[in-house]
Chains A and B, each alone.
Chain A
Amino acid sequence: MPDSGSDRFIREVCVLAGRFPPLVLVQSMNHDREDIPEPLRGRTVKVGASSSHAIALSCGLASVGKIVVLATDRPDFIGQSWNDIRHTLLQSLQNITVVLLPPSPRSVGPVVSESWSLLRQIPVTEIYVPADVEEMRQALDYCVTRHAPTFIHAPADEIDPAAPAPAFGSARFSPGVWPRLRDGSDLAVITAGDLAAAALHAASRLAAEGIQASVVHASSIQPVDRSALLALVRKIRRVITCERHSVCGGLGSAVAEVLAESGSGAKLVRLGMSDLDPAVSVSAKSILRAAKALLKSEGKRSGS
């Protein structure tokens, strides 16, 4: 059975625990992990499914010198504990990394995520969305030495196996930098997190029809890589954003704000989740469909 996101995450945190003796794992999970190996086992606190308690408790741990990694698989964690995040975590500015893991397949809960829209309210918040496990490992490495609260949205368990792996080259995770994974001049697809693979897959399919798409991996929702974004839209006037998040307040909104304020005039289509149709998810197919619709709406045909 393939490793789940939670398995991979635990492994990475164990490695970090070996390097950083003050590191403590706080679990606020629907389904607690019981198989945590040493040295992390003796440094794990389970707070069960409660969420607001987890934030303040983590702040208490950090105040006595601990480096806290707070892991949750609850999709509604940020919303439920927003008051504590706003008034306690983001005011105390301690070394706490909140990792939002993919929900357990056994979970039944809300589908549409609005976490980023809340976290973006506070400009100092850093929100990272790694595309894969390796990038998550590097992001964790960065965040635990950050001495400030940071948030990591871990990649989903099931990344499309038919999709090509994102090509990061030698430079992978760099905080606040959005790498361009593929060049193309007809349109740009900007994806958050693990949707990079789906976007590359869609871009290959478009290329077969004569449409050249750039693909940019938004490795952070905040900070936005403004310079990369503005450089992109200087030459490309059609942009699609993709996220496993509500269309309101997440990546699409962050990009829209930059584009609107810069007066770029680029046409933007936001793909994401919506309460209007929570079953719809973003995939290579939906990206392909949106790209063709966008080009058609502007009268551009394949190869022209």
Chain B
Amino acid sequence: MTERSNLSEWSAAIRVDLLNKALEFSRRPAPRGGFVPGGMGAALTVVDALVVLYLDILQHRPALSAWPLRDRVVFSKVSAWPAYHSLLYRLGYLNRPREWDEPLDMNADPGVDFSSTGAGVGLSAAVGMALGLRLDNKKSRVFALMESSELGGGETWEAVDRAGIEKLSRLCAVVDWPRPFAGSGAEESGGGAAAAEKFRAFGWESVVVDGHSHEELSYAFSKFKKTVTGRPVVVIAQTRFGKGVAALERTGTTCGIDQLSAAVAEMSESLKGSIRA
């Protein structure tokens, strides 16, 4: 188990990476830049779940990315890819950092179990992986990191249904559920607790946690790992959109380049001396 202070450091370091990359992007001449990228808020929210998964929970080996007994991760939250780049680079999977809008490719990039530019397909792919691994009697687990908006798509619920019917007990969906803000649609759907109830109706176990609490995330994932209930598990991670940038957390929308620069300076200052290279 990784020390809590280490998890906090990793989360902060990845957030600084994201802000720096976003700043770089915003300084590029148009049309490939010149504005604060959309998706920055989404990328910031998912950092804690990613860090806990990779440092505390997953069976994986950066030095042997194709290790056949590894756990699998489907990063379905496509708008937050930069968080994933940053983590995989810091773990040693990727040999160079990626630019904000550079996609990852499962056929070329080590550590990437699945890639798609389509929205809402991740859980279906994760179900396929879990089925395939079970056919081979492998004990590897599959995690699908999703965003709450995917629960508005029919394909996602087809996957939820299939996982429940097949009793895929080594499948865990992690749904990033940001606090509602105007236009997110999240407030209309009844919130994370209502979503958890819907999953239970399809034969899943479900738990709602603070998506920025490393302790709660770690507890929920560890419980999933140790318990084989015969059901897939969903962890609804309630988060704050744009976590780490006050302007984003407050409004749930984008922020200006000046606010971004200020956030970078503030976060870097607070981590001086302890940021990993």
Footprint of B on A, CB under 8 Å?
24, 42-43, 45, 47, 50, 52-53, 55-66, 83-84, 86-88, 91-93
Contacts and interface: CB of A to CB of B under 8 A. Distances in A.
A50 B136 CA distance: 25
Contacts of B129: 60-61, 63-64
Interface string B48-89: 000000000000000000000000101000000000000000
Interface of B: 72, 74, 106-107, 113-118, 121-122, 124-133, 135-136, 154-155, 158-159, 162
Given A45-B131, A60-B125, A93 B107 contact: yes
A157 B267 CA distance: 67
B158 A92 contact: no
A52 B128 contact: no
A199 B113 CA distance: 47
A283 B162 CA distance: 42
Chief secondary structure at chain B's binding surface: helix
Contact of B116 (A47, A50, A65, A91): A91
Contacts of B128: 56-64
Contacts of A24: 132, 135
A84 B128 CA distance: 14
Contacts of A59: 114, 116, 121, 124-125, 128
A53 B107 contact: no
Contacts of A45: 131
Contacts of A56: 116, 118, 121-122, 124-125, 128, 155, 159
A92 B114 contact: yes
B116 A57 contact: no
Given A59-B114, A63-B114, A88 B162 contact: no
Name the residue in A43, A57, A92 with the highest tally of chain B Cβ atoms < 10 Å from its Cβ.
Answer: A57
22 contacts: A50-B158, A53-B124, A53-B159, A56-B116, A56-B118, A56-B124, A56-B128, A57-B159, A57-B162, A59-B114, A60-B130, A63-B128, A63-B129, A63-B132, A64-B132, A66-B132, A84-B121, A87-B116, A88-B117, A88-B118, A88-B125, A92-B115
A284 B207 CA distance: 63
Contacts of A60: 74, 114, 124-132
A64 B72 contact: yes
Chief secondary structure at chain A's binding surface: helix
A88 B116 CA distance: 5
Contacts of B106: 63, 92
A43 B72 CA distance: 21
Q: Which 8 A-B pairs have the closest CB atoms?
A: A60-B128, A87-B118, A56-B124, A60-B125, A53-B158, A64-B132, A57-B128, A56-B121
Nearest to A26: B128
Contacts of B122: 56
A93 B106 CA distance: 10
A142 to B, nearest CB: 21
Contacts of B136: 64-65
A60 B144 CA distance: 11
A64 B118 contact: no
A57 B127 contact: yes
Contacts of A61: 128-129, 131-132
Contacts of B74: 60
Contacts of A65: 132, 136
Contacts of A92: 106-107, 114-116
Given A45-B131, A64-B136, A92-B114, 8 more contacts: A52-B124, A60-B114, A60-B125, A60-B126, A61-B129, A63-B128, A87-B117, A88-B121
Contacts of B158: 47, 50, 52-53
B115 A91 contact: yes
Contacts of B154: 52
A169 B186 CA distance: 64
Contacts of B124: 52-53, 55-57, 59-60
Contacts of B118: 56, 83-84, 86-88
A277 to B, nearest CB: 33
A92 B129 CA distance: 14
A21 to B, nearest CB: 10
A285 to B, nearest CB: 43
